[in-house]
Amino acid sequence: MTGFNVSSGPLKYDTEFAREIYSLENGHHIKKCMQCGMCEVSCATRKEMDYSPRKMFLLLRTGQREEFFKSNTMWMCSTCLMCKVRCPRGVPIVDVMHDLKCYAISKGYTERAQAAFYQSFWKEIWSRGKQFEGGLMARYYLKRGWKDIRKDAFRMKDMGLTMLKHGRMPLMPPKSVKGLKDVQKLVEVAKAQLQKGADR
């Protein structure tokens, strides 16, 4: 966390990195931020974040590459939209958070539990067009490995059994979407369109 003990050494602005972030789908909105702090006081998960959205935007503008990759900010966002309705500059903060998650994953920063969760969730959608709780959990623990399974096993088992008892935990996945090929193609085409737009 940044404090008042600022070094007298020159501050290095990595403008290359900042430009890369601006080129993300919603990245240019970051330039509109006026550092008022409204998102900071509104955020549902502020106390879990190492940098508030406001501080994160400052870091990005000054190109603090390493700090960004170390930070948990975007992974803590729960998409509650409070910041988006309150930001006086109209920064779609939550959409920027989406970009930051994508960017971190694309650069291989996937060791956080949340990143594993996001990837598992997406694999589920990709492979059947729908989400299945059982499949999601299986994929998630496969990614997280034995240590996490042991840590969570007891609690998850209890909760899973309770849900099963109340008929809220289907053991069989839902039927795959008939047009699954179309779903996949749509995603591929859309990604290619985005890429083309970014290269232009």
Q: What residue 163 binds from ligand SF4, other proteins, none (CB within 5 to 8 A, per partner kind)?
A: other proteins
Of the candidate spans 50-58, 132-140, 145-153, 166-174, the one that interacts with ligand SF4 by CB under 6 A turns out to be 50-58
145 vs 170 by CB, closer to other proteins: 170
Tokens of 19: 């430009």
Return the residues of window 40-59 that contact other proteins according to CB under 8 A. Answer: 44-45, 48
- For CA atoms 72, 78, 84, 86, give the dihedral sign: negative
DSSP code per residue over 45-94: TGGG-SS-HHHHHHHHHTT-HHHHHH--HHHH-----HHHHH-TT---HH
Q: What residue 158 binds from ligand SF4, other proteins, none (CB within 5 to 8 A, per partner kind)?
A: other proteins
Of the candidate spans 13-21, 42-50, 134-142, 163-171, the one that interacts with ligand SF4 by CB under 6 A turns out to be 42-50
Which region, left, alpha or beta, applies to residue 11 given φ > 0 means left and ψ of -120 to 50 means alpha?
beta
Q: Does 153 bind other proteins (CB under 8 A)?
A: no
Q: Which of 59, 83, 115, 116 binds ligand SF4 (CB under 6 A)?
A: 83
Q: How far is the CB of 38 from other proteins (least distance, A)?
A: 13
The C-alpha atoms of residue 160 and residue 134 are separated, in whole angstroms, by 10
The C-alpha atoms of residue 56 and residue 63 are separated, in whole angstroms, by 10
